[in-house]
Structure 1
Amino acid sequence: MATARKKRFSRRVPDHVTDELVVVLSEETEFLHFNDLFQKVYDNLKKKNAVSGGEEMLRLRAYEKLQNLVSRGMVEKEGRQYLGLDGIERASSKWQAEGEKA
């Protein structure tokens, strides 16, 4: 007996933290210490009124997202400093959405 497959609709919401990490890292040409990088990301998110859950929770999320970018080969890590590599824009929500349309 065959079972019917259910079609699911999943809507992905933009990942504001990753998007801001991409913006900051793509603008910088030198390595940034995590604290400096986080401060820029936090300030940008605050301007957009996209900060929720408190600064410490956002710091943890940003660190996790940053390590994900490092493991994907989009960010170079040297000690506790980070540098965005060519193609880091592919990690942004805008790039992902354009890829799904194609």
Structure 2
Amino acid sequence: MQRKSAFSRRLPDLVTEELVAALSKKGASFEFKQLFDVVHERLRARNAASGGEEMLRLRAYEKLQNLVSRGMVKKTGKKYRGLASLAKALTPPDAAPAAAPAAAATAK
């Protein structure tokens, strides 16, 4: 009998949304400090920058490194640039596998 884990994957949070929005611009390449400044300003405009600036900086860096490891952001030296697959970062993890069989069934 399988037990369901108490922790489930959630939708991307506001920090990830703002990182994706900033890195999705054509030709945009940022160092982390510049990228964080853009993300922090956008979060403050949305009244969503809570927990202190240093904690937000750590969360943003962790999420950026997660995007790099997933192959959605390219890191060259100290610069970060969004790739075409970056749009997938905002889709829920469970939605992608469920959509594939449905698309295959309609293609027949």
User: Do Structure 1 and Structure 2 share a fold, with TM-score over 0.5?
Assistant: yes
2:49 aligned counterpart, secondary structure: coil
Unaligned runs of 5+ in 2: 100-108
Give the 3 Å change call, closer, same or farther, for CA 9–61 of structure 1 in structure 2: closer
Q: What is the aligned length?
A: 98
Partner of 1:67: 65
Counterpart of 2:20?
Answer: 22
Q: What SS does the corresponding residue of 2:36 show, helix, strand or coil?
A: helix
Distance change in 2, residues 1:11/1:53 (3 Å)? same
**Which residue pairs with 2:104 in the alignment?**
none
Which residue type is aligned with residue 99 of structure 1?
A
Q: Stretches of 4+ moved more than 4 A in 1?
A: 3-11
Are residue 49 (structure 1) and residue 43 (structure 2) matched? no
Q: What are the ranges of 5 or more consecutive residues in structure 1 without an aligned counterpart?
A: none
Q: Is 2:92 the counterpart of 1:96?
A: yes
Does the alignment pair 1:38 with 2:36? yes
Identity %: 54
Question: Which region of structure 1 is more displaced relative to structure 2, 7-16 or 32-41?
Answer: 7-16
The verdict on how the C-alpha distance between 1:5 and 1:83 changes in structure 2, with shifts beyond 3 A counting, is closer
Matches of 2:29 and 2:4, distance apart in 1 = 47
